[in-house]
Amino acid sequence: MSSTLPLSAAELVEQFKSRKLKVKSVVSDIFGHIKASEPKLNSFTALTEELAYQAADKMDAAYDKGDALPSPLAGVPISIKDNINIRGQKTTCCSAMLKDFVAPFDATVTQKVLAAGMVPVGKTNLDEFAMGSSTETSIFGTSRNPWDLARVPGGSSGGAAASVAAHQAFLALGSDTGGSIRQPAAYCGIVGIKPTYGRVSRFGLVAFASSLDQIGPLTKTVKDAALLLETICGHDVQDSTSADMPVPQFSAALGQDIKGMKIAIPKELSGDAISAPIAESLENAITFYKSQGAIVEWVSIESLKYAVPTYYIIAPAEASANLARFDGVRYGNRDRSSATLQAMIADSRGKGFGDEVKRRIVIGTYVLSSGYYDAYYLKAQKVRQLIKKDFMNLFQTYSAILMPTTPHPAFKVGEKINDPWSMYLEDISTIPANMAGLPALSVPSGVTNGLPIGLQIIGKPFDEATVLNLGHHLETQFNFHHRIPTGIQDLLK
Amino acid sequence: MSISESDINRVIKLAHLSLSPETVSRFSEQVGSIMGHMAVLSDAPIADLSPTDPNSPSTPVQADKVYTGFGDCASVNPVYMDGPYFVVPKIAGSDAE
Amino acid sequence: MTQFEPVIGIEVHAQLKTNTKLFCRCSTQFGGEPNAHTCPRCLGMPGALPVLNQTAVEFAIKAGLALNCDIQHKSVFARKNYFYPDLPKGYQISQFELPICLNGHLDIELPDGSTKRIGITRIHMEEDAGKLVHQGAEAIAGSTHSFVDLNRAGVPLIEIVSEPDIRSAEEARIYMETLQLILRYVGVCDGNLEEGSLRADANVSLRPVGTTPFGTRTETKNINSFRSLERAINSEITRQTALILSGGKVIQQTRNYHDNTQTTTVLRDKEDSHDYRYFPDPDLLPLLVSQTQIDAVKTTLPELPNAQRKRYMEQLGLSEFEAMVLVQDIPMNHYFTAVLDQNPQIDKTELAKWLVGDINAALKEANKGFDNCPIQIAHTASLLTLLTTGKISGKMAKAFIPDMIQTQKSPDDLLAASGGGQIDNSDDLGPIIDQILTQNPDVAEKIKAGKTQSANFLMGQVMKATGGRAKPDLVIDLILKKVTG
């Protein structure tokens, strides 16, 4: 197999420009590699070969003629999480409910990615309706971690992370509600960023928890993440929560001096709260940033302990309403044996949703129901404001917050599936950024027992530039991105 | 903390969700245990906090102009249609609005 | 025996007259192929998100101002969660805790001439549901399956909730009529009860006369005319009274009114009332409205019906009847105003008289109305000018009107075609009258003998001979002069 696949997206584009590589040949290589590696990885739910070759021909023509290219990522193969609409393709959300659902319109991000000349290679696997941390709740089965095929790639954007880590795609679009981009990025040794809430349009993303969901890039390098983020950001009238804020050129800020920059480390997510190798990796990062002239200080964010319970009230509450549209009337799974409307709806949903989704619908309905609203939902919304306030107070002093992305490296398939709360606790350090709507980046920061680990950098609202710059500095310490994961080394030399 | 099966049954009726008795009993335990972890929120210092962001911008508005760019969406994923209509089975009882 | 006093509150759903739906830009047009006016948003497709309609917000503010409400600087859209096939998202987007308008009132005029103030608790915005067409039977009961048409799903509504200030079915009807007129006046709602663009639910309870605590109330739905509003409330008052007197207790429930039997039946008890699980819709931010925006809407608010009727009577000198007809007939009123605007010198009382009387009648005869009126405004103005300057008689004017409707000719053209204007001098009329008298010697004799009414017969003959152009009072004068003279 071609040795071009482990390149970063930015490196690949240089090859396209010099015409040492044709888009079409890379696309053909990548489909060859995908087909060879899918039996091991199961990253994809569907491939979009026709769309890919169409885009490839168009971009080759543009590169041949030296035309103005639509973007700095023209011709780069990208995978798209299967909860983001591509018009005319299935959007399954990895649920029996939507297994045959064809999207009647493009998501705004899809439009932007296609207009930028990127090449969509396929839709990637996720936990059903993005509810999970492992892809184990997908009806298409679990995706595998390319570094250890017995382990999960993380989730819910597990297929997306695996596809980039295993060089089945140069870029991926995922979505992050409580860590669904950053946690799998950390588990798979790649870069993932959840932008500020409102940065990227949610139009065409199947909603899980509307006030928390954000679409973002999963990439091999921070530079690639910056380039992809520049492309998909921006105000969108189709999404009322989309922010009308200028979009800086994030890639231009990479490498800027961080001397004197103040970085906070929360005590609550260090020491005994996390595994030893991750604590060690955090210490290394602190030493590194100090060596670059940054001022790194330990702080306390007491409200962090409320983040997971708060999240598991608000997210299921919103989900219980967002998933109410799946009633078997207009599309989706319909139980045809039911004699009455009421039975048809309940049975279509009962059969169309998996266990984890049902559990969250039950929790969400419970916390909103009469007599429980104040004690759960209303209280959680207040605690959410508390968490937000605590972060904003820190940002009076600090430019960014550094913490582990996950408390542990990737776990084994089946290890946590029967213990929902322990699975939920894996999100402890990713959830706060969603609760406060802040931009958060995960970058590879080391390897332990052959498994990658990641560190997370959280920034001020709309200050993705600082977050990416800090990530870029750290990344140079590890230079992870050309590595071939151990699980697929036989396929890619 | 536990949530009784009758609570689960009340909730799944609201959520229009068929669950097997086995699942109801399992959820009663699991959801009860999950809700138990929420107790910590009672300690949160939230007395003077509002449940919404006081600095939220206004929801945007769009001009009142007909837009038809989506084409025919109703019949792209037909589950059960009769001509242009969606069809639902007999509506039981007095569930009508 | 205890005397009971009814305590009534009305909840009105008014469909806003926007071109497009509340959260998508699909047409709100009535009719059309089923499900043709739908898109991913109003079909509740995965990935679709709501975007608020600006005009709907302005209309809600307008209605609020017309009903003397405090317009809220911050209101919030919430999700009202319940399952029904006419509700595509499984929740209705509605305002719950923070509606756009609070604390208004509406003054109604009672038959005895007194005025009563009815409080308006709140007005909130929400989206309408779709339509179900039951198959195999007229209604749900007995039907085998149902068709779903989502053309109406997402159409903007405002819900206007009154205080329980209403004390009789008649007051309720007057409240509703007054409200309808105001909503039509400010142009935010068609106000058509039969077509459902205005819907009323009545909350009725009873309490012993002289006491203050409210009794248990019921909510009655399925009211689709002013008459059925009155009947539904009266039937509910009768039912509750009988129930209480026989030792029973009113149960809080939702009831359905049936026009054919003029009775209500139970739709659902409070125990199985829905638990709607309202919470703020995270797909929409709060709606913030500045004082500047409110003031801008205020400037577009027209004069309201009561004020206008008074002005018509006091300043323009219209009769109470004409003022009332004009105020209640909005297209006629617009036409009246347009003629006045373009012809400030015109005789206003004559204009009102002719619009309310002959022109209105002739339009009805021709199956036309004042909206898209076939008579140009300038033509009506010149008709009035010809009349008030004596160039034509009332009779001629009356004769012109159907022609003006049918051929859209100007009164001046019609006048020219009829051979000229009114004949109003004795030199021209004298010879004609002489001839008529010669032809009818017996009638002349009768007049001579004192039967002056017989002159009317001769005038008819003169009119015939002049094509209706003779000036009537002059003709009578001349006949009497010639016969007796």
Domain count, chain A: 1
Beta bridge partners of C47: none
Give yes or no for residue B94 having a pLDDT over 60.
no
Quote the minimal CA–CA distance from C94 to chain B in Å. 14
The number of CA neighbours under 13 Å toward the Cβ of C302 is 19
**Calpha distance A193→A171 (Å, rounded):** 12
Nearest CA in chain A to B44: A383
Give yes or no for residue B65 having a pLDDT over 70.
yes
Using an 8 Å Cβ cutoff, are A17 and A66 in contact?
A: no
Give yes or no for residue A121 having a pLDDT over 80.
yes
CATH number of domain containing A3: 3.90.1300.10
CB contact under 8 A, B61 and C57: yes
Nearest CA in chain A to C42: A325
Q: What is the mean pLDDT of residues A336-347?
A: 95
**Calpha distance A102→A123 (Å, rounded):** 13
Count of other CB atoms within 10 angstroms of residue A174: 34
**Calpha distance C453→C479 (Å, rounded):** 11
pLDDT at residue number B96 = 45
**Calpha distance C149→C35 (Å, rounded):** 5
- Using an 8 Å CB-CB cutoff, list chain C residues near A238: 49, 51
Question: Which residue, A47, A18, A54, A13, is CA-closest to A30?
Answer: A47
Q: Which of residues 266-305 of C touch B (CB under 8 A)?
A: 267-268, 275, 277, 280, 284-289
Domain residue limits at A50:
1-493
- Residue C271 DSSP class: G
Size of interface A-B (CB pairs under 8 A): 161
A204: its two tokens: 């065409």
pLDDT at residue number C271 = 58
**Calpha distance A83→A99 (Å, rounded):** 11
Question: Which residue, A107, A177, A192, is CA-closest to A464?
Answer: A192
Quote the minimal CA–CA distance from C25 to chain A in Å. 11
pLDDT at residue number C414 = 82
Give yes or no for residue B46 having a pLDDT over 80.
yes
pLDDT at residue number A1 = 47
Q: Does B71 touch chain A (CB under 8 A)?
A: yes
Q: What is the mean pLDDT of residues A27-35?
A: 97
Question: Which residue, C56, C62, C158, C66, is CA-closest to C104?
Answer: C66
Using an 8 Å Cβ cutoff, are A206 and A159 in contact?
A: no
Every domain of chain C with CATH number 1.10.10.410 lies at 426-484
3-state SS class at C1? coil
Q: What is the mean pLDDT of residues B73-96?
A: 86
In single-letter form, the type of residue at position A21 comes to L
Tell me which chains share at least 3 CB pairs under 8 Å with chain A. Answer: B, C
Compare C450 and B73 and report the one with higher pLDDT: B73
Q: Does B19 touch chain A (CB under 8 A)?
A: yes
Positions in chain C short of pLDDT 50: none
What pLDDT, in 10s, does the model give residues A456-474? Answer: 999 999 999 999 999 999 9
Q: What is the mean pLDDT of residues B34-45?
A: 94
Provide CATH code, domain C426-484: 1.10.10.410
- Is the alpha carbon torsion for C345, C347, C349, C355 positive or negative? negative
- Residue A13 DSSP class: H
Using an 8 Å Cβ cutoff, are A377 and A317 in contact?
A: yes
Please give the positions of A annotated as active site.
81, 156, 180
- Using an 8 Å CB-CB cutoff, list chain B residues near A308: 37
Using an 8 Å Cβ cutoff, are B89 and C85 in contact?
A: no
Q: What is the mean pLDDT of residues A142-160?
A: 97
Phi, psi of C309 (to 5 degrees): -60, -45
Spatial neighbors of A16 by CB under 8 A, at least 6 apart, are A22, A23, A59, A63, A74, A75
Tell me which chains share at least 3 CB pairs under 8 Å with chain B. Answer: A, C
**Burial class (CB within 10 angstroms; exposed 0-12, middle 13-18, buried 19+) of C173:** buried
Q: Which of C24, C42, C43, C49 to mutate to test binding with chain A, by most A CBs within 10 Å of its CB?
A: C49
